[in-house]
Structure 1
Amino acid sequence: MRQIGYTRVSTASQDAQLQLDALIDAGVQKRDVFADVTSGSKTAIERPGMTKLLEYAETGDTVIVWRIDRLGRSLIDVLNTVELLRGRGVHVRSLSDGIDPATSTGRLMLHMLATLAEYERELIVERVNAGIAAARESGTRFGRPRVNPAIIAEKLALVAEARSRGRTAAEAAALVGWSRATLYRHQADAKSKASSF
């Protein structure tokens, strides 16, 4: 059972020395510390240091961080990382937050984090739905933009003319800026509209 350290700073100008010193004071060997210098936009599993840590850690090991927020860019990311590690039998301990799942207080803190993360997820969904509703009310249309049927008919005529001169379907479609699949779709639409009259 090893103690594995993890440090993260957002930019190269920030210094992880405070985190590193705390980990070494807690008994982590310097060779067992993994580090990331990365912006907050990447989730934990997208970071090279965390990827190496996940490959290195084994069941029974403990990952130690200076603060729990070093594990992720958001509460949801932190919780996902903790759950990923715990799912592999790896313990997590945060020095300054007092989060240690081996203790009842640590487990309580993790449950509180999980509740807050769920709340954060629900808030994000509510904000997205409110934004979509507001955009619809102001006239924003979602989905594929409407295409003028006259332009489609004109392009189909150009494609038909090119095909009559020996061009392949792909070549003829490319002349009007379509893929072969788009050409076939528009031809099928035109045929079904013609047969419905």
Structure 2
Amino acid sequence: MNTATTGRIFAYCRVSTIEQDTENQILAIRSRGYDVQPHRVISETVSGSTPAMQRKAFRTLVDHKLEAGDTLVALKLDRLGRDNIDIQKTIEMLTERGVHVVSLDLPVQNLSSAEGKLMLQMFSAFAEFERNRIRERTQEGLARARAEGKRLGRPEATATTAKVKQCREQGLSQSKTATALGLGIATVKRHWNK
């Protein structure tokens, strides 16, 4: 850990889906020697494809909490932006405000040093390359599945259809079926005559 900083330490943790949580990120940051107070851990669930300053919790952190001399710690570089350009802009903006930025997946702690900037550019480029490769592999897999005649998309909700039909057979209207099953009216209409 870089002990040269004198300000407060904040941690920014992000996950993409509500099925995930940020607890492992927080534990990893603390295990690396960053004593982050619970009220200075900023966590949010937002897609990694959303630019950093369009993320509600991150923007609040930058606009209302971070001050010159503070340190912002993230477990991985990709938490700080959507892509290489966004990460570069975010770190540059924070550095200009006097905030020390640390990404624990980089061997160089000070991202405003010459070595830090070089490391940042390299890791950002690798991260973006990997995201592009994942996207390409996904598209290749979808094309292969289509060529094999496989049905793509969400599976049929046969249980929902059965429940909607049962309510219809009992004489319930579509709106009463929606209420009874806790479904939206559009979902009930979609399954009504299947």
- 1:1-197 correspondence to structure 2 within 5 Å: 1-25=7-31, 26-54=34-62, 55-101=64-110, 107-114=114-121
* Separation in 2, partners of 1:96, 1:74: 16
* Separation in 2, partners of 1:14, 1:96: 20
Question: Highest Rg: 1 or 2?
Answer: 1
Kept in 2: contact 1:92–1:101 (CA 8 A): yes
Deviations 1:158-191 (A, max 9, x none): xxxxxxxxxxxxxxxxxxxxxxxxxxxxxxxxxx
Decide whether aligned partners of structure 1 residues 41 and 69 sit closer, same or farther in structure 2, where only a CA change above 3 A counts.
closer
Decide whether aligned partners of structure 1 residues 116 and 65 sit closer, same or farther in structure 2, where only a CA change above 3 A counts.
closer
- Deviation of 1:117 after TM superposition, in Å, equals 6.3
* Separation in 2, partners of 1:89, 1:58: 7
Kept in 2: contact 1:24–1:30 (CA 8 A): no
User: Which structure 1 residue ranges, 5 or more long, are not aligned?
Assistant: 121-197
Structural RMSD (CA): 2.7
Deviations 1:53-78 (A, max 9, x none): 10200000000111111111212111
The structure where helix makes up a greater share of residues is: 1
TM-score by length of 1: 0.53
User: Which structure 2 residue ranges, 5 or more long, are not aligned?
Assistant: 1-6, 129-194
Kept in 1: contact 2:25–2:75 (CA 8 A): yes
Letter in 2 for 1:63: L
Letter in 1 for 2:17: T
* Separation in 2, partners of 1:3, 1:99: 18
Letter in 2 for 1:43: P
Letter in 1 for 2:96: G
* Separation in 2, partners of 1:102, 1:70: 15
Decide whether aligned partners of structure 1 residues 103 and 59 sit closer, same or farther in structure 2, where only a CA change above 3 A counts.
closer
Kept in 1: contact 2:43–2:57 (CA 8 A): yes
Does the residue aligned with 1:82 lie in a helix, a strand or coil? helix
Kept in 1: contact 2:8–2:70 (CA 8 A): yes
* Separation in 2, partners of 1:64, 1:20: 10
TM-score by length of 2: 0.54
% identical equivalent positions? 38
- Structure 1 consecutive aligned stretches of length 4 or more whose deviation exceeds 4 Å: 115-118
- Deviation of 1:12 after TM superposition, in Å, equals 1.0
Kept in 2: contact 1:69–1:78 (CA 8 A): yes
